[in-house]
Amino acid sequence: MTSTQSMTGDLCLVAGSTGMLGSEICRLLSVQGCAVRALVRTSSNPDKVARLKDLGAEIIHGDLKNPGSLKAACRGASTVISTVSSTVARQQGDSIESVDLQGQLNLVEAAEQAGVGHFILVSFPTIDLDFPLQSAKRAVEERIRRSRMSYTILQPTCFMEVWLGPALGFDVASATARIYGDGQRKTSWISFQDVARFVTAAVGNPQAKNTVIKLGGPDAMSPLEVVRLAEQIAGKTIHVQHVPEEALRAQYGAATDSLQKSFAALMLYYAHGDAIDMMEALRILPVNQRQSLREYLQAGI
């Protein structure tokens, strides 16, 4: 079996394949015996590209900002999966407008023109604020819906590895936790590994076609409840630093560029919480093992 063949004869193109989520999707697809084509840039981290090759993925170079480079990437693919965002790993010329909006639209267009049957987009839930990243996501979602392709739009809540990780100030090992807002509103925190499982469960799944599915983890807990759980697991007191919602709103109002405004809006989303019912999502995408907050916190101690 070659990297462009699978047991089913289907080929999945993964855009965003060198990212945290995209690389895990490639790994799971490979484990399941699916053929994987990984879209990478010539400037992508060589070690990350090498790991994709080790999985058996076919490497193809392209850039969402260059529509011409996407034709070959989409050719022969039955499914396109996009996890791309400029908000995490940015290179020269990357922005919400050039990548999350126009770049994603370029990919949808290329996939449709290549005769791709199924487009899976990782997005995020609707947030009651106006900001550039959300505007880009909704425009891309609408374009996918209007395409000739079947679609699955997945909208996970807050990734626990990001929002409950050291980069954003939640550092159990250092006994500190930065909390946005009052910390009392529950969120169904989700692991990126579970998002990857839901993505792969959508591949080749007729029930997942033409659906928009909101995703959350198994635990709906407030940030302060997460702190108490972390204290219980670590056996030590964690110092909590609150960023008041008023400060977040001021940051949102004063933001002078798309990225600043979008980050401020996402922090307000965190502050407001988002506890969801997963019954319908699990009926369509039966992912049986999902990472709990306890498991995540224990692994980080």
Tell me the average pLDDT across 179-190: 98
Write down the pTM of the prediction: 0.94
Choice between 5 and 257, residue whose per-residue pLDDT is larger: 257
Residue 14 has pLDDT above 60, yes or no: yes
What pLDDT score does 6 carry? Answer: 40
pLDDT at 7: 40
276 three-state secondary structure: coil
- 3-state SS assignment for residue 61: strand
Distance of alpha carbon 82 from alpha carbon 66, whole angstroms: 16
Task: Give the integer Cα–Cα distance in Å for 174 and 240.
Answer: 11
Rounded distance between C-alpha atoms, residue 55 and residue 33, angstroms: 11
**What integer is the mean pLDDT of 181-207?**
98
Mean predicted confidence (pLDDT) in 224-228:
98
Give the distance, in angstroms, between the CA of residue 276 and the centroid of all CA atoms in the same chain.
17
* Burial class (CB within 10 angstroms; exposed 0-12, middle 13-18, buried 19+) of 128: exposed
**Whole-angstrom distance, CA of residue 173 vs CA of residue 216:** 25
Does the structure show a pLDDT above 80 at 92? no
Does the structure show a pLDDT above 50 at 231? yes
Give residue 158's pLDDT.
97
Domain positions in the chain are 11-158+190-216+275-290
> What are φ and ψ of residue 216, in 5° steps?
-145, 170
Backbone φ and ψ of 242, nearest 5°: -95, 135
C-beta of residue 208 within 8 angstroms of C-beta of residue 202: yes
Q: Which CATH class is domain 11-158+190-216+275-290?
A: alpha beta
Whether the per-residue pLDDT at 160 is higher than 70: the answer is yes
- Confidence check: pLDDT of 53 > 90: yes
* Torsion, CA 191, CA 250, CA 84, CA 194, rounded to 10: 10
